[in-house]
Amino acid sequence: MYPACFAIRMFSLCLRCPGSHCLRYKTSKLRAPAPLSLTLTRTTASPHRPVSSQTNCCGCQKNSKKMSIQAKIGPSILNADLANLAAESQKLLDNGADYLHLDVMDGNFVPNLTFGHPMVKCLRNKIKDAFFETHMMVDNPEQWIAPMADAGVNLYTFHIEPVEDVAKVSRKIQEAGMKVGLALKPGTKVEEVQKYIDIADLVLIMTVEPGFGGQSFMADMMPKVEWLRKNYPNLDIEVDGGVGPKTIDCCAKSGANWIVSGTAVVGASDQRKVISDMRGVVQSYIK
C-alpha cells in the first residue's frame, strides 16, 4: 500500500474509534479485550497478539453486544490446608471450581504475609492444567511479574493504589504472557480505574479490606459493580471478600460474574453443591 493511501486508511479507521485517549491506541502490543478464557495459556506466549479484522483501530470492544460473559467460581486457596495444598486445590477443581485464586501478601501493602512465587511454582508442577489467578496485595507488583509468569500464573491481578504507572505495569504483565486484572480497595473510587479499562481483562472489586480474614461482606461496594456493569457490559468483574451462598445473589444481581469465595466453599461439607449453586445464581443474572 502506498504511504498516502495507508495514512488515509488509518485516519478513517481511527475516526470510528470513540476513545482517542484509549490506551490500546497508544500501545500497539496490546490485544483486543475479550471475556477471559479459562484455557491455560503459556506464560512464554508472545506479547504480540492479533486483533480481529472486525475491530476498530484500537480494539475497543468492551461495549460490543456481540460478546458475552460467563459465570466463574474461584475458591481462595488461602482458606485451605496449606500443608496439603496440592491435594486441597485438586479437590476444589474436581468439585467444579473454574479457577484457583491465590492471595499473595507482602506484609507492607497489607499487614499479613502469605506466600510467593516459589509456592505457586510448586503448585503448578502438581496441577498442570488449572487456571491460576494471583491477587497481588503488594506494594510493588512490577517486581513480581517475571517470577509469577515463570511460576505458571495465568491472570495477574494487582492493586492500582500503590502504582504510579498502571499502564506500564499492565503492559509488562501482557508481555510476560499473562492476563491483566486491576483491583480496587473499598476506599478507592471506581472511577479511578476507568482510564485503564481498555488495558484490563478483569476488574476486581474488594468487598472487604484486603489482608484480613473473617470480615463481613460489604454490600455498600455493590454500586461500584453496578457502575462497571452498566458502562462496560462485557467486562469480567470479580468480587472478593465475604462472598458465599448468603451474599451471592447481591453480587450477581449487581453484575459480578467472577466470584472469589473462601471459607464458604473450602470449608463446605459439599463443595460441589456450593460451587454449582453459586454459579447458577450468577448465570441467572447474565443476559
What is the pLDDT, as a whole number, of residue 36? 58
- Is 129 marked active-site? no
How far is C-alpha 130 from the chain's CA centre?
15
* Selection from 104, 102, 101 nearest residue 112 by Cα: 104
CB 154 within 8 A of CB 177: no
Choose, from 81, 106, 240, 277, the residue flagged as catalytic: 240
Whether the per-residue pLDDT at 55 is higher than 50: the answer is: no
CA dihedral over 66, 47, 40, 113, signed as positive or negative:
negative
- Is 139 marked active-site? no
pLDDT tens-digit readout, 115-161: 999 999 999 999 999 999 999 999 999 999 999 999 999 999 999 99
Whether the per-residue pLDDT at 18 is higher than 80: the answer is: no
* Mean pLDDT score, 44-72: 48
Rounded distance between C-alpha atoms, residue 287 and residue 280, angstroms: 13
pLDDT tens-digit readout, 198-210: 999 999 999 999 9
Whether the per-residue pLDDT at 9 is higher than 70: the answer is: no
Rounded distance between C-alpha atoms, residue 66 and residue 57, angstroms: 17
Rounded to 5 degrees, what angle do the CA atoms 249, 250, 254 make? Answer: 110
With bands split at pLDDT 50, 70 and 90, how would you rate the model's confidence at 37?
A: low
Cut 0.95: pTM above it: no
Which residues neighbour 146 within 8 Å (Cβ) at sequence distance 6 or greater? 176
What is the pLDDT, as a whole number, of residue 63? 56
Rounded distance between C-alpha atoms, residue 4 and residue 15, angstroms: 17
Rounded to the nearest 10 degrees, how much is the dihedral formed by the CA atoms of 197, 201, 207, 209? Answer: -90
Question: Hunting for cell 459480578 — which residue is that?
Answer: 256
CB 198 within 8 A of CB 174: no
Q: Would you tell me the crossing angle of helices 117-126 and 85-94 to the nearest 10 degrees?
A: 60
Choose, from 98, 103, 201, 236, the residue flagged as catalytic: 103
CB 265 within 8 A of CB 274: yes
Mean pLDDT, the chain, whole residue set: 84
